[in-house]
Structure 1
């Protein structure tokens, strides 16, 4: 998509409109976005590991209590 839109008038005038959306928290380079998504995935993975460890501990204590 062309970032510039040219509107021609019926008389001898030309209006050029440039739409630039820049929201500071989301104005990231590809490298910065990759770093953020990598950090989010790392936090998610650590949380998943903690959850599995908690389930293993819970199952172990449940089987010990039943004996």
Structure 2
């Protein structure tokens, strides 16, 4: 199974833009901070998978690896 890229759009009311989580600003800021770290984490995962993909012999797993790297690169 290959990952599917989804284009998510959110229609938040103007008063909720800065405080979008229903549990309040602390949770909003917590998730915003996590989102700032995701790009580095995604690079780490891609590099890790790339490092070992030459050792994979299973064609289906190779296909999944390519899909994973493609998804994370997006």
TM-score bin (small chain): 0.3 to 0.5
Determine which structure has the larger helix proportion and give its number. Answer: 2
Structure having greater relative contact order (Cα 8 Å, sep ≥ 6): 2
TM-score normalized by the length of structure 1: 0.34
**Looking at CA atoms only, which structure, 1 or 2, has the larger radius of gyration?**
1
TM-score normalized by the length of structure 2: 0.32
